[in-house]
Chain A
Amino acid sequence: MSYDVSVTFEEDGSLDRIEIHIKAPARCSQVAALLAKLDEKERFLDVPSDGGRIVRLRTDHIIRIFSQNRKNYVFSSDGTIRTTASMNELYEQLIHDRFLRVSRFEIINLDKAESFDFSIVGQLKIKMEGSQTVFASRRYIPVIRDYLKGGDTD
């Protein structure tokens, strides 16, 4: 369901900062998108690369963050970066309605999921953009369903 958006401005001389309040019937995906637009943290992820540089990535370009042979990588539409940051550190920087940690080794951007399947072994198989395939526990099926319906994963 999509809601109409009404924007109002209220002048208040007693304030020493700008306050933005969003009122909605629920914290749906539309609200999440508005919050994301307002929140710098959501738009960029600072990734310490193994070369010692900090690479600033647009979060909407990130497809997945994964761990392989004890090394962590950020895979985005701009390329793959090997990072010195831990999975926890990276996950903490992301807003969790779009990014889902599906295992100890994998964080995915749900907006970059192209299709879902259930493997014969009994795991959720997620095809991501960039011909990437991710396997997750079936326990994440309801979490993903909530996100796609417009709710939050938190």
Chain B
Amino acid sequence: MKKVFTRLLAGFCLGAVIGNLIAMASDPGRPFMTELFVTRMGNYTAAFIVHTLLSALIGAAAMAGMSLYDETDLPLLFATIVHFVLIEVVFLPVALFLGWIAPVWNQIAMMGGVIAATSLLIWVFMFFYHKRKVSELNGMRQKKKQRPQ
């Protein structure tokens, strides 16, 4: 539980920083925020605070969700799917609200697809990592059988 909380906190800080970097990159003329979001919030300070908190929420969900892989007994595939759903559920509404993506289906689908592709990459990497570790067990078992007791 301590590990989950540490990750939650680290993700919160990381998300706040990365969220602002993304906003800066998406609208260089108006640092930290999209023009649309500042207009929606009424003033720059309120927009900055809400934007930072929501970005932090994404980071917290993504990082705390990593505990699904090593703190639970969920099979790898299910852990990846739950992590993916968790990020989608948090990220997409926040991205729409902050104006990172427009509320049109192709942009939502594209962003959802990027998260899905990232999740798939994580699964592939972790699957082959564990596959290799398990195949090492077979070699070790053979050696143990040959070892005099």
Contacts and interface: CB of A to CB of B under 8 A. Distances in A.
Contact of B133 (A33, A115, A141, A149): A141
Interface string B26-39: 00000000000000
Contacts of B141: 113, 115-116, 148
Nearest to B137: A116
B63 to A, nearest CB: 20
Contacts of A120: 77, 127
Contacts of A122: 75-80, 126-127, 130
B134 A117 contact: yes
Interface string B138-149: 101101100111
A117 B141 CA distance: 13
Contact of B130 (A115, A118, A149): A118
Interface string B87-104: 000000000000000000
Given A29-B149, A118-B127, A122-B130, A145 B76 contact: no
A122 B147 CA distance: 30
Contacts of A121: 75-78
A148 B147 CA distance: 11
A141 B77 contact: no
B127 to A, nearest CB: 7
Interface in A101-130: 103, 113, 115-124
B138 A115 contact: yes
Given A103-B73, A145-B140, 13 more contacts: A2-B147, A29-B147, A118-B131, A119-B75, A120-B77, A120-B127, A121-B78, A122-B75, A122-B77, A137-B75, A139-B70, A141-B137, A145-B133
Which 3 residue pairs spanning A and B have beta carbons closest together?
A: A122-B76, A148-B140, A137-B73
